[in-house]
Copies of this chain bind each other. A is one copy, B any other.
Amino acid sequence: MTSTLGYALLGLLARAPATGYDLSVRMRRPIGYFWSATHSQIYPELARLEAAGLLRHTVVDGAGPRPTKRYAITDEGCRELRDWAVSPPEPSAERSTTMLRVYSQWLADPAAAIRMVEQVHSMHRSRRAEYAALEAEAAHPDPGGDRSAFASYATLRAGIESENGALRWCEWLLDELRGDGTGSGDLPATPDAAGGTYPGRAD
């Protein structure tokens, strides 16, 4: 019944009440580092959630031509969100246009392919730097303490992990494409792990 976007909004409102505008600003960049939406999705969804009794709004002073609404989650909303949060996760289909491009780069000039992968690499570097800065701010919350702060931190760690993995992959691929490959087939060690740890291997 409730959409994924709905749960994203409930997740934010469970932490603090907010206006639709507040929510749309926060969701321009991914929330929990793994979801995003625009205001044109958010406003209708808030109305639907309220009709379902999961939210309530009060009109407050604001700058817009229409009344400014501050939304708060209801007890029913909390319950529904809580149940969804621990319900069995569906096997999510990963999607990446970048990977699709790489899949067909064998058709193109090798130099052009390398340039494209370099761009991907630098995008991941700056994204990781962003996340690393956020991590430095919040330090490492105790899972037994403020649980909502720890949950935010856990999704941030996942973002950093995922950027580290992407960076390692880019560096491996660039080595291969440039012909610097040592022939071992292993991924290279990365000398510049700024922020976010590169964890050790098993052996």
Find out whether the CB atom of B89 lies under 8 angstroms from the CB atom of A116.
yes
Instruction: Say what secondary structure dominates the interface of chain A.
Output: helix
Interface size on A, residues (CB 8 A): 92
Residue A161 contacts which of B92, B97, B165 (CB distance < 8 angstroms)? Answer: B165
Chain B residues near A85: list those with CB within 8 A. 101-105, 107-108, 113, 116
Scan A78-104; emit 1 where CB is below 8 A from any B CB, else 0. Answer: 100111111111111111111111111
**Binary interface profile of A, 3-21, with partner B (CB < 8 Å = 1, else 0)?**
0100110110010000000
Closest partner residue, chain B, to A162 (CB atom):
B165
A34 within 8 A of B: yes
Most buried by B among A11, A87, A101, A177: A101
Number of copies of this chain that the complex holds: 2
Instruction: Give chain B residues whose Cβ lies under 8 Å from the Cβ of A82.
Output: 104, 107-108
Is A144 a contact partner of B179 (Cβ separation < 8 A)? yes
Partner-B contacts on A (CB < 8 A): 4, 7-8, 10-11, 14, 30-36, 78, 81-109, 112-113, 115-116, 119-120, 123, 140, 143-144, 147-148, 150-152, 154-155, 157-159, 161-162, 164-166, 168-169, 172-173, 176-177, 179, 181, 185-193, 197-203
Besides A86-B101, A154-B176, 15 other CB < 8 A contacts? A36-B93, A78-B107, A83-B108, A85-B101, A85-B108, A86-B116, A88-B116, A91-B123, A92-B96, A94-B159, A102-B158, A106-B150, A161-B169, A189-B201, A200-B200
